[in-house]
Amino acid sequence: EVGEAVPAAQKSSWASFLKSIASVSGDLSSLTAPPFILSPISLTEFPAYWCERPELFAAIADATTDEDRSVAVLKWFISTLKGQYTSRNEKLGSEKKPLNPVLGELFYGYWPDLNGRGRTNLVVEQVSHHPPITAYYISNASKGLYLQGHNAQKTSFSGGSIIVKQLGHATLTVDLPNGDKEEFLITLPRLRIDGLWYGSPYIELTENSFIQSSTGWLSTIEYKGKGYFSGKSHTFKAILSPPGSNNAKRTFEGLWHLTSKDLKSGHTFTDVQGPKEEVNVAIVEEMDDWESRKLWQHVAKGIRDGDFETASREKSKIENEQRQRRKDELAAGTKWELKHFEHIESDPTYERLGRFFKANPPTEDTYIYRHNGPYDEVPVVAAA
Ligand code: CLR
């Protein structure tokens, strides 16, 4: 029988949800799921996972050689994976179905300047509803670090698991002391969502992802789960190869949710067992109506309180309002304008850096930040 972890009254609805997943391929976001699996958090909050260890992000700026900078980027990236892919299990008991953001939904946050690491700001906007696409910009200006990215998912069902192909990518720009800029192209791993049958989904990462620097250094990260080369879940192996070579100069190996080692020195490479820092956000009362936690507040409260009638009534309100907006735009011949990002069909950084490792696809679109977020200072006008 289905669903050890599923409340008795929701077993049949869980079974039909699983059936609908198997038949609907592409986008799961609009499928109706039973209450026990609903999360009160919108996908627009997820980009915050990139910076929950702000000191590791800031440390990228302190590296003094190209090689060390690529190592620092890899270290920061690997250290984000625990938050990105296991934190709902820790916080909510299992992986859950996040709230599906509306077009134009916003999420703003920051991590304060502590111990000289500089302040890090986050701006997120839902730039498409169907399919869901989330764009984000994370910056630590005092360290000269700028991360821009967008995210979408293509899902399919295989062998009882959901396979999530992540579409989109991130680029990290680093201001170097000599005035040059180094760029990194970051691609995203594939996900497998296991544990569905029992009603306690969790994520395993599979295949490869890449971090290509404009200096030529390339990190190739290979992900394995239970039963593969190490037999342990959340295993990775990353090799760093120098410009123009496929040979590993450095190798890092371990468990991305616990610790890993630099095989050359034998020293610890990543250790994410200590606490992380959640993003700081304004209180709901001070938020703009389009900000995620304000927009979804009644739905989220309903889900948290187990009052699913309220949750679904409030969700319908939001969805109907959105439908009406789209109708009005159609009638008026107008188009929804993005607030903080500009869509461009082809990202030159992706094309240029992707060529080094034969990125597939060879070209991708991107969303360029307009530098008009709540934390952007008014530009100083130079005196004549
Ligand atoms: C979003 C971008 C983040 C990393 C990340 C983590 C979890 C992923 C999420 C992304 C996309 C949406 C996702 C989620 C896990 C489950 C959820 C795939 C990639 C789907 C839509 C919900 C499936 C429903 C079952 C849990 C029942 O950087």
Q: Which residue's alpha carbon is at the smallest distance from atom 18 of ligand 1? A: 164
The reported pTM is 0.96
End-to-end CA distance of the chain: 77
Q: Which of 10, 30, 39, 84 to mutate to test the pocket of ligand 1 (most atoms within 8 A of CB)?
A: 84
- Which residues are registered as beta bridge partners of 341? 369
CA of 227 to the centre of ligand 1 (A): 23
Contacts of 352 (CB under 8 A, 6+ apart): 214
CA of 307 to the centre of ligand 1 (A): 24
CA of 220 to the centre of ligand 1 (A): 23
CA 59 to the chain's CA centroid = 20
CA 47 to ligand 1: nearest atom: 28
CA of 29 to the centre of ligand 1 (A): 9
What DSSP string describes 279-326? PB---GGGS-TTBHHHHTHHHHHHHHHT-HHHHHHHHHHHHHHHHHHH
Q: Is the CB of 42 under 6 A from ligand 1?
A: no
Whether this model's ipTM surpasses 0.90 comes out as: yes
CA of 208 to the centre of ligand 1 (A): 18
| pLDDT tens digits along 117-169 | 999 999 999 999 999 999 999 999 999 999 999 999 999 999 899 999 999 99
| pLDDT tens digits along 193-231 | 999 999 999 999 999 999 999 999 999 999 999 876 658
User: What whole-number distance in Å separates Cα of residue 106 and Cα of residue 115?
Assistant: 29
Q: Which residue's alpha carbon is at the smallest distance from atom 4 of ligand 1? A: 84
